[in-house]
Chains A and B, each alone.
Chain A
Amino acid sequence: MAPAFDPMVGRYVRLAIDGVAHRLYFEEAGPENGIPLVCLHTAGADNRQFRHLLADAEITRRFRVLAFDMPWHGKSTPPDGWEREEYRLTTASYTAAVRAFCAALELDRPVVMGCSIGGRIVLNLAIEHAAEFRALIALEAADFQKPWYDTAWLHRPDVHGGEVCAALISGLIAPQSPPVSRHETLWMYMQGGPGVFKGDLYFYRVDGDLREKVKTIDTKVCPLYLLTGEYDFSCTAEDTLRTAAQIQGVEVQVMKELGHFPMSENPAKFREYILPVLDRIAR
């Protein structure tokens, strides 16, 4: 019997981000001449969140789907000397990472879809670099959100980092999500490097406040889609709707029976919402 392969292929790419050498892991699926669709995972996780999208023939028929592990995440190697610094993601470093990946892969006006911090940075791409993209999709995104816990608990020797990260975010998954998908989503959080989730949240909570700036987004330069799950109490539907109200021409949707990790917590349900969006982009 032939081996039962998943359709995506993973490999490493060498690139420089802000002059620092990186070795990033990414997976891709779909035709080389398909519309590039770059997927950005949530804080403290990795590209496996998009494995169902990468395996969806209806999507890869037209799109070349690429999902990379952010520096410090998943199988991407942290930069040399990582042991001498505290990891902190910023608006500038995150934006640079996404643009460096797109440039290294020589992607022509890709679509970028990001979730959570990935959704927030998509808003920044719309603010600062809209002309470089064919369309932008922000999942679970807003210009700003009210914090709901102290991130000091995420990295200290008397609390297991992986387990506390997973336990905290477990409540952001909708109760309707299949248990298998729920626990796979949690597993990725349990595997993050020490302090990485906390470092990502520096961007989310301290550095990445986009209030006021989102008003400058011009959707005529690049279409923007916002989709948020109704069970996400971190980035609430109200947060997303408030953000959308400031952006002329944006398309916004609240997704029923989904939470903060739509693509991994309930792939079948998410598909109902994302296929029509991708269909419009491909037309």
Chain B
Amino acid sequence: MSPAERFARLPDLLAADSDLRRRGRWLNADCRIDIGAEPFYLTLRDGALVDLVRGPRLLRSVAFSVSGTEDAWQRHWQTIPEPGWHDLFALTKRGAASFDGDLRPLLQNLQYFKDLLALPRRLAEAS
């Protein structure tokens, strides 16, 4: 499975995690996650993912975006990631990912977003 294919499974992964949805219950945000060159648009309401759109959408506005190289997400989603690839900020520090836009909703719900974006780790690795 490519990193983008793994990320496309996010609705099922979040639906299966009631604890994460509980922790995000105050969160309402629209954001974009770039898996390499492929953008995903997330609509989050009360901690649940009500919409996930894959692929470019012209002029679609979001609060913030998180972009990472394919390699960065691949390594980040290893069952036990290697040192330096195991956290979003480890990726940004090394220049393999970046945050852009209004980062307030991201920082207000930081653990939620870190855990959300690590969910593909739960899928069996490249098969």
Contacts and interface: CB of A to CB of B under 8 A. Distances in A.
Contacts of B57: none
A2 B37 CA distance: 64
A148 B93 contact: yes
B107 A233 contact: no
Most chain B CB within a 10 A radius of its CB, from A160, A166, A175: A175
A279 B107 CA distance: 43
**DSSP majority for the A interface?**
loop
A268 interface: no
Given A175-B86, A231-B86, A153 B107 contact: yes
B107 A175 contact: no
The size class of the interface chain B forms with chain A is 10 to 19
A249 B80 CA distance: 35
Contacts, number: 52
A125 B104 CA distance: 39
B89 interface: yes
The size class of the interface chain A forms with chain B is 20 to 34
A61 B81 CA distance: 38
B108 A160 contact: yes
A188 B110 CA distance: 17
Given A148-B92, A171-B87, A230-B83, 12 more contacts: A153-B107, A158-B108, A159-B104, A164-B107, A164-B108, A164-B110, A170-B87, A170-B114, A171-B90, A175-B86, A231-B83, A231-B86
13 contacts: A146-B93, A148-B89, A158-B108, A159-B108, A160-B108, A164-B107, A167-B110, A168-B110, A171-B86, A172-B87, A233-B84, A233-B93, A236-B84
